[in-house]
């Protein structure tokens, strides 16, 4: 039997649980509150533990580049992604606590009519106790005054718990996502392109161009996401133009990853993608990597030409069919569209 108090109650919700998980069947006090700056190190730690748990359970721990031993150390200060979440989307940023200990968290962001779930993680010790659903109930209410017309997220392709949880909230499987990597040396450098490539440094100068490309490609305003990426020292934004006409952009990371990338037409997608891989290979990292969407044949073909291999499998889910993945590559982690 489960009993929980109404949302927004200052009192902890009390769950009477009969379970077979790591926590013994007992009375468990779970409280929910908005995230705070002091939570950030613990939140990152929880995400990594929970992520590792799924990778281990499904045999992807050794191959996935997102297993915690392959990630940078947890910074002691400075969590720009969570800081932006708190500033822009505090209503979608929640934590769950059990006896004062962090047990789960969620973060959603809203841009125009799009709601996007960046994170939903419950600590392995407390999974299966309804905490995920309670966090979901809260973050689903986040709308920033807009009428939400689509909800989207990326999750593990092999976790039936998360996939079915989201489907119950009307967010359905839409697109297979393959995390692919290959040696930078294998990237073909010789191919010519008619497109002009320019590195964009000043966000204010790039803002309207990027917004126009996003409008044509995705149909959602994502200025805040671009502004965030421009503020990071580890990624560069490249703009591609045909003559004087901007036709696409690609973010290229110091660690050889590519994304997000968008083009105004499918005809030039292959050209922009290949150029982005050349720029990524030139960053000096041993590998280049990308989140390949299964329905984008050109993306799969180019990735395979570059001898890239599938290292992890994800799933893009949304409440409505998504506008267009034939001209678009997701941000490398899926936490941000
Ligand atoms: C996914 C996750 C957030 C869900 O949170 P949780 O607190 O464990 O889940 P809840 O207890 O709220 O709900 C899980 C539901 O899934 C159901 N479920 C479990 N296995 C299932 C399966 N194979 N098929 C369908 N439903 C299943 C459970 O029965 C439960 O529903 P019920 O309460 O109606 O019985 C949590 O398990 C987690 O952090 N997993 C690891 C990380 C992850 O996958 N995060 C999502 C990535 S975006």
CA distances from 234 to 16, 142, 229, 296, 330 (A): 46, 30, 9, 27, 17
Question: Residue 289 falls within a domain, yes or no?
Answer: yes
Assess whether 100 and 196 both reside in one domain. no
Could you tell me the distance, in angstroms and rounded to a whole number, from the CA of residue 104 to the centre of ligand 1? 12
Task: Tell me if 129 CB under 6 Å of ligand 1.
Answer: yes
* Bridge partners of residue 252, in order along the sequence: 236, 258
Assess whether 204 and 297 both reside in one domain. yes
Task: Tell me if 54 CB under 6 Å of ligand 1.
Answer: yes
Task: Tell me if 133 CB under 6 Å of ligand 1.
Answer: yes
Report the percent of the chain where pLDDT is more than 90.
85
Question: Residue 44 falls within a domain, yes or no?
Answer: yes
Helix, strand, coil share of the chain (percent; to 5): 30, 30, 35
Host domain of residue 227? 181-329
Residue 271: left (phi > 0), alpha (psi -120 to 50), or beta? alpha
Assess whether 141 and 196 both reside in one domain. no
Could you tell me the distance, in angstroms and rounded to a whole number, from the CA of residue 175 to the centre of ligand 1? 20
- Which of 148, 165, 197 terminates a domain? The answer is 148
Question: Residue 113 falls within a domain, yes or no?
Answer: yes
Which residues are CB-contacts of 221 (< 8 A; sequence separation ≥ 6)? 111, 112, 211, 214, 215
Condensed to tens digits (0 to 9), the pLDDT of residues 194-233 reads 899 999 999 999 999 999 999 999 999 899 999 999 999 9
Condensed to tens digits (0 to 9), the pLDDT of residues 232-254 reads 999 999 999 999 999 999 999 99
Condensed to tens digits (0 to 9), the pLDDT of residues 289-311 reads 999 999 999 999 999 999 999 99
d(CA 291, CA 333): 8
Q: Which residues of the chain have pLDDT under 50?
A: 1-21, 25
Single out the residue of 140, 175, 202, 133 nearest to residue 334, CA to CA.
175
Assess whether 133 and 208 both reside in one domain. no
Question: Residue 253 falls within a domain, yes or no?
Answer: yes
Assess whether 141 and 265 both reside in one domain. no
d(CA 301, CA 304): 5
Task: Tell me if 109 CB under 6 Å of ligand 1.
Answer: no
Task: Tell me if 139 CB under 6 Å of ligand 1.
Answer: no
Q: Which of 97, 128, 138 to mutate to test the pocket of ligand 1 (most atoms within 8 A of CB)?
A: 128
CA distances from 141 to 8, 144, 176 (A): 11, 9, 27
Assess whether 143 and 256 both reside in one domain. no
Task: Tell me if 334 CB under 6 Å of ligand 1.
Answer: no
Total structural domains within the chain? 2
Prediction pTM value: 0.91
């Amino acid at each position: 039997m489960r009993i929980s108090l109404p949302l927004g109650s200052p009192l902890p919700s009390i769950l009477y649980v009969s379970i077979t998980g790591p926590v013994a069947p007992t009375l468990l006090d779970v409280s929910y509150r908005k995230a705070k700056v002091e939570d950030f190190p613990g939140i990152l730690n929880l995400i990594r533990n929970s992520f590792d748990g799924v990778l281990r359970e499904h045999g992807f721990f050794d191959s996935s580049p997102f297993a915690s031993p392959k990630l940078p150390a947890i910074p002691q200060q400075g969590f720009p992604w969570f800081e932006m979440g708190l500033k822009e989307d505090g209503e979608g940023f929640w934590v769950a606590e059990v006896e004062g200990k962090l047990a789960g968290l969620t973060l959603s962001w809203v841009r125009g009519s799009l709601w996007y779930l960046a994170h939903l993680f419950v600590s392995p010790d407390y999974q299966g106790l309804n905490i995920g659903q309670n966090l979901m109930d809260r973050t689903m209410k986040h709308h920033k005054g807009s009428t939400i017309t689509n909800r989207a997220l990326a999750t593990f392709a092999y976790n039936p718990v998360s996939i079915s949880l989201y489907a119950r909230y009307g967010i359905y499987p839409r697109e297979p996502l393959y995390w692919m990597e290959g040696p930078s040396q294998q990237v073909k450098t010789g191919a010519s392109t008619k497109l002009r490539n320019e590195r964009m440094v000043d966000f204010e100068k790039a803002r309207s161009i990027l917004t126009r490309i996003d409008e044509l490609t995705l149909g959602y305003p994502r200025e805040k996401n671009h502004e965030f990426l421009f503020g990071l020292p580890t990624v560069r934004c490249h703009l591609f133009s045909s003559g004087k006409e901007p036709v696409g952009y690609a973010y290229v990371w110091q660690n050889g990853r590519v994304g997000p990338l968008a083009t105004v037409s499918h005809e030039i997608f292959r050209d922009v993608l290949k150029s982005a891989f050349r720029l990524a290979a030139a960053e000096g990292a041993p590998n280049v990597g990308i989140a390949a969407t299964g329905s984008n044949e050109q993306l799969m073909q180019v990735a395979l030409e570059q001898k890239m291999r599938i290292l992890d499998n994800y799933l893009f889910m949304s409440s409505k069919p998504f506008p267009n993945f034939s001209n678009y590559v997701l941000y490398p982690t899926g936490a941000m569209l």
